[in-house]
Amino acid sequence: MTTAYKIQEHKYDMIVVGAGGAGLRATFGLAQKGLSTACLTKVFPTRSHTVAAQGGISAALGNMGEDDWRFHFYDTIKGSDWLGDQDAIEYMCREAIPAIIELEHQGVPFSRTEDGRIYQRPFGGMTTHYGKGIAQRTCAAADRTGHAILHTLYQQSLAHKAQFFIEYFALDLIMDADGACRGVLALDMAEGTLHLFRAQGVVLATGGYGRAYFSATSAHTCTGDGGGMALRAGLAMQDMEFVQFHPTGIYGAGCLITEGVRGEGGILRNSNGER
């Protein structure tokens, strides 16, 4: 005779699934507001795929010359071939400036100019005056920007008493009769036990699904778990056909070569030597 699986229950104000840059920022922000917050992650937080982000983060600080968030806005819309959500792009470009300052204050060791300001490097497609000049807009911590951000946000989350459940694999969302999400069912991969996390809200920050493709620069953890949970719960998803393919990497192995190589002057050629 079989018996039901034992399920251990936990209760928090908020649950965050995923501990990359987005998940850790959400965890830190919720905990900072005084909410009891748990973060579930299937890998140790500083091993999340944000660690592969080397090149940096763009924000129109203007530390290396004239710049404006509106120029950044234009470049991003143009770079999306006018398919991007312009309201979202406007918000991102405008708020990128205080977001970088916030990360600096939290402890991210950004590379500096000789006079102590955050150094900004040039990257492809970045212009001033709506395509007329070249902008240096990307803020970086050497070639380990994602690594630095993960360590900083993880430390800040711990300092604000967030609870981490590491190597817990989220299985499904818990929905109530009204269609509201009230928690997550997860598997403790070390012990094989089931855990039910009840909460007033759930944040999914589970990354992409690059490993659906044969060759990808995504980590092997990028398997679309959050999207699968959302679909099984009957929640709508949008723009899933837009997958970022990094233009430089080692074919087959999936090793990423930073976009910074092109920002520093590297060029791409095909098998005929053509740019």
Radius of gyration of the chain (CA): 21
Residue 99 lies in a domain: yes
pTM over 0.75: yes
Residue 273 backbone class (left: φ over 0; alpha: ψ -120 to 50; beta: rest): left
Indicate whether 89 and 215 sit together in one domain: no
Residue 22 has pLDDT above 60, yes or no: yes
Decide which of 147 and 269 is more confident: 147
Which among 56, 60, 54, 55 has a CA at the least distance from the CA of 126?
60
Q: Mean of the per-residue pLDDT values for the chain? A: 94
Helices (H), the chain: 21-32, 69-79, 86-106, 145-159, 225-232, 260-263
Indicate whether 21 and 153 sit together in one domain: yes
pLDDT at 1: 53
Decide which of 216 and 27 is more confident: 27
Residue 43 lies in a domain: yes
Who contacts 39 (Cβ-Cβ below 8 Å, separation ≥6)?
15, 16, 17, 18, 19, 23, 24, 27, 45, 157, 162, 163, 164, 165
Mean pLDDT value of segment 75-81:
96
Indicate whether 46 and 151 sit together in one domain: yes
Range of the domain at 75: 55-143
pLDDT at 264: 78
Residue 3 has pLDDT above 80, yes or no: no
156: domain CATH number is 3.50.50.60
Which among 131, 125, 123, 68 has a CA at the least distance from the CA of 96?
68
Q: Which amino acid is at 266?
A: G
Question: Could you give the percent of the chain with pLDDT greater than 70?
Answer: 99
Place of tokens 């660690």: 51
Indicate whether 117 and 153 sit together in one domain: no
Residue 183: how many other CB atoms lie within 10 Å? 22
Cβ-count burial 95-110 (b if 16+ within 10 Å, e if not): ebbeebeebeeeebeb
Indicate whether 94 and 226 sit together in one domain: no
Indicate whether 96 and 207 sit together in one domain: no
Decide which of 5 and 254 is more confident: 5
pLDDT at 226: 96
pLDDT at 217: 86
Number of domains composing the chain: 2
Residue 270 lies in a domain: no
Residue 216 lies in a domain: yes
Give me 254's structure tokens: 């999936």
Alpha-carbon distances, residue 205 vs 20, 53, 105 (angstroms)? 7, 16, 23
Residue 209 lies in a domain: yes
Residue 124: how many other CB atoms lie within 10 Å? 11
Query: Which domain-ending residue is among 108, 143, 178?
Result: 143
- State phi, psi for 266 to the nearest 5 degrees: -65, 150
Indicate whether 138 and 151 sit together in one domain: no
Decide which of 3 and 161 is more confident: 161
Place of tokens 């740019």: 275
Query: Which domain-ending residue is among 143, 167, 194?
Result: 143
Band of pLDDT at residue 102, cut at 50, 70 and 90: very high
Place of tokens 């070569």: 257
d(CA 237, CA 88): 16
CA angle 109, 115, 120 (to 5 degrees): 55
CA dihedral 59, 157, 198, 169 (to 10 degrees): 80
Digit-coded pLDDT (tens) for 163-174: 999 999 999 999
Which among 161, 148, 158 has a CA at the least distance from the CA of 55?
148
pLDDT at 2: 66
Digit-coded pLDDT (tens) for 115-155: 999 999 998 899 999 999 999 999 999 989 999 999 999 99
Indicate whether 32 and 161 sit together in one domain: yes
Residue 248 lies in a domain: no
Indicate whether 87 and 196 sit together in one domain: no
d(CA 239, CA 220): 22
Query: Which domain-ending residue is among 118, 143, 168?
Result: 143
Indicate whether 45 and 169 sit together in one domain: yes
Indicate whether 157 and 188 sit together in one domain: yes
Residue 168 lies in a domain: yes
Residue 80 lies in a domain: yes
Indicate whether 75 and 123 sit together in one domain: yes
